């Protein structure tokens, strides 16, 4: 019987890829809901009711960042920059909307905190080896 040992770096890259794809898909789904179900007008209205600053700008910007940033994150494209933007969005969601409801869902900050932490992880660690960022860097000889 033969056992295959996977190198620690490969396991870490696989873990980053799994977390990145699921986190990116989650952000993209929330962005798609904002864009294609509520639309810019609905998102702006919701951001107005929640007391978000400049809701006519921040609402659509968040919807676009969540959708396109989520797709980019899932693919591992422009990962650090995208993840930083998504982390800032989640910090804003926690401070402006969810903090007053306490920790637990459905309106608490536990879910946005998990998304904030995952996004911050990618902002700090990058996408890992199984990503478009890595493939593009490899083509350039980095």
Question: What is the pLDDT at residue 110?
Answer: 97
Q: From CA 59, how far away is CA 40, in angstroms rounded?
A: 7
- Residue 131 counted as domain residue: yes
- Residue 64 counted as domain residue: yes
Q: From CA 32, how far away is CA 47, in angstroms rounded?
A: 16
Domain count of the fold of the chain: 1
Q: Residue 122: which of 17, 3, 14, 32 has the closest Cα?
A: 17
pLDDT digits (tens, 9 = 90+) for 28-69: 999 999 999 999 999 999 999 999 999 999 999 999 999 999
pLDDT band for position 135 (50/70/90)? very high
pLDDT band for position 142 (50/70/90)? low
pLDDT band for position 80 (50/70/90)? very high
Q: From CA 77, how far away is CA 112, in angstroms rounded?
A: 22
pTM value is 0.92
Residue 126's region, left for phi above 0, alpha for psi from -120 to 50, else beta, is left
- Residue 5 counted as domain residue: no
Residues spanned by the domain of 66: 18-139
């Amino acid at each position: 019987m033969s056992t295959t040992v996977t190198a620690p770096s490969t396991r870490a890259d696989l873990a980053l890829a799994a977390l990145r794809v699921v986190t990116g898909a989650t952000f993209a789904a929330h962005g798609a809901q904002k864009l294609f179900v509520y639309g810019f007008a609905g998102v702006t209205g919701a951001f107005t009711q929640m007391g978000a600053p400049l809701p006519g700008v921040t609402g659509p910007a968040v919807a676009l960042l969540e959708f396109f940033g989520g797709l980019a994150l899932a693919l591992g494209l422009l990962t650090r920059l995208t993840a930083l933007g998504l982390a800032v969005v989640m910090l804003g969601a926690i401070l402006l909307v969810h903090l007053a409801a306490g920790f637990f869902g459905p309106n608490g900050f536990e879910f946005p905190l998990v998304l904030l932490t995952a996004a911050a992880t990618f902002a700090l660690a990058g996408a890992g080896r199984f990503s478009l960022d890595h493939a593009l860097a490899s083509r350039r000889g980095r």
